[in-house]
């Protein structure tokens, strides 16, 4: 399945339908950084895929359930010949409204824990939910939107429970996740202008040391590492998708005052110079 055939690229249809459920046997891209403003829930039925998610190598195997939130940058590397995955693709407009529902209020946890492995019973239950969700998504019933919202509530509540988080969070853990959510929102809005964790800590009214320790405790990465991850992901995307820009222009686009400092940063994060990465 090529780029034009993969359903994630049909943005007009996704926006029109709000939610689509479909089975695919490929990824939307190969080796190129990929970003969509849709949310995607995937249930791996067979085979496997490997990809970079937030600059970390991940694999997706049978009976895993994974969430890709809007604007996450992925780089796919391999897909097995027998790969099959059931996708729920949720438009940006639908997602923006749905994040305020109680079933999905802590959705930003999927930025740092995107996937979980399901037991046989859990796998069967999720398949059953997705089967009904697919039937509703393909209908044109007057109550279609209401039905989609109800089934997505059920799906998201089940996802939280199967990840082993429901009813187990302490008040401190909940506060920490809320802090990370606020930090991530700030980071995505200001990564070009602000690369120092002290600025983000100040915006949140915290000391840099305490702020970074909380982020590390919650996500296993420090705040500084998250800043670097986002900058490196955006750099990889620009280098591959904006070939009209020179490396120096990419550096300035990302808020680096000097091309040399950007090149050092990029090589430290990826092992390659920007030009080498662009040419691979």
Q: Is the model's pLDDT at 11 over the cut of 80?
A: yes
- For residue 131, CA distances in Å to 39, 125, 128, 149, 164 come to 18, 10, 5, 15, 23
36 SS3 class:
coil
Give the integer Cα–Cα distance in Å for 17 and 145.
9
- Residue 171 pLDDT: 60
Decide the pairing of beta strands 74-79 and 33-34.
antiparallel
Poorest-confidence range of 2-16, 174-188, 254-268?
2-16
- Residue 167 pLDDT: 46
- Residue 232 pLDDT: 92
CATH, domain range 7-162: 2.60.120.280
Q: Is the model's pLDDT at 77 over the cut of 80?
A: no
Give the integer Cα–Cα distance in Å for 84 and 272.
33
Tokens standing for residue 26:
């490929």
Q: Is the model's pLDDT at 35 over the cut of 90?
A: no
For residues 61-81, give the mean pLDDT.
87
Domain positions in the chain: 7-162, 192-279
Residues 224-271 have pLDDT tens digits of 999 999 999 899 889 988 999 999 999 999 999 999 999 999 999 989
DSSP letter, residue 254: T
Residues 204-223 have pLDDT tens digits of 999 999 999 999 998 888 99
Q: Is the model's pLDDT at 54 over the cut of 60?
A: yes
For residues 158-179, give the mean pLDDT.
72
Quote the percentage of the chain above a pLDDT of 70.
92
CATH for the 192-279 domain, from 3.90.700.10, 3.30.460.80, 3.40.50.2000, 1.10.10.60:
1.10.10.60
- Residue 29 pLDDT: 64
* Residue that is written with structure tokens 């009904």 in the block: 132
- Residue 220 pLDDT: 86
- Residue 78 pLDDT: 85
pLDDT interval class at 140 (50, 70, 90): very high
pLDDT interval class at 169 (50, 70, 90): low
Buried/exposed 211-226: b ≥16 CB within 10 Å, e otherwise: bbebbeebbebbbbbb
Q: Which of 68-82, 99-113, 242-256 has the highest mean pLDDT?
A: 242-256
> In sequence order, what are the residues at sequence separation of 6 or more whose Cβ sits closer than 8 angstroms to the Cβ of residue 255?
191, 192, 193, 194, 195
- Residue 58 pLDDT: 87
Tokens standing for residue 143:
């109550």
187 SS3 class:
helix
Q: Is the model's pLDDT at 67 over the cut of 70?
A: yes
């Amino acid at each position: 399945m090529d780029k034009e055939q993969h359903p994630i690229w049909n943005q007009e249809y996704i926006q029109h339908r709000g939610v689509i459920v479909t089975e695919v046997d490929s990824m939307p891209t190969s080796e190129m950084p990929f970003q969509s403003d849709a949310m995607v829930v995937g249930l791996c039925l067979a085979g496997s895929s490997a990809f970079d998610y937030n600059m970390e190598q991940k694999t997706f195997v049978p009976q895993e359930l994974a969430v890709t939130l809007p604007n996450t940058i992925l780089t796919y590397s391999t897909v097995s010949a027998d790969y099959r995955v059931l996708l729920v693709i949720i438009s940006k407009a639908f997602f923006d409204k749905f994040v305020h529902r109680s079933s999905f209020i802590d959705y930003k946890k999927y930025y740092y824990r995107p996937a979980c492995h399901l037991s046989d019973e859990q796998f069967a239950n999720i398949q059953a939910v997705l089967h009904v969700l697919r039937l509703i998504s393909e209908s044109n019933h007057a109550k279609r939107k209401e039905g989609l919202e109800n089934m997505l509530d059920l799906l998201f509540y089940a996802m939280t429970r199967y990840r082993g988080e429901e009813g187990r969070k302490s008040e401190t853990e909940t506060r920490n996740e809320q802090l990370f959510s606020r930090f991530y929102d700030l980071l995505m809005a200001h990564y070009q202008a602000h690369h120092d964790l002290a600025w983000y800590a100040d915006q949140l009214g915290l000391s840099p040391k305490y702020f970074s320790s909380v982020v590390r405790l919650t996500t296993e990465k420090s705040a500084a590492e998250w800043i670097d991850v986002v900058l490196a992901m955006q750099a990889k995307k620009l280098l591959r998708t904006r070939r009209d820009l020179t490396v120096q222009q990419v550096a300035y686009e990302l808020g680096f005052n000097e091309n040399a400092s950007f090149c050092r940063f990029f090589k430290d994060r990826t092992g390659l110079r920007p030009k080498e990465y662009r040419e691979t």
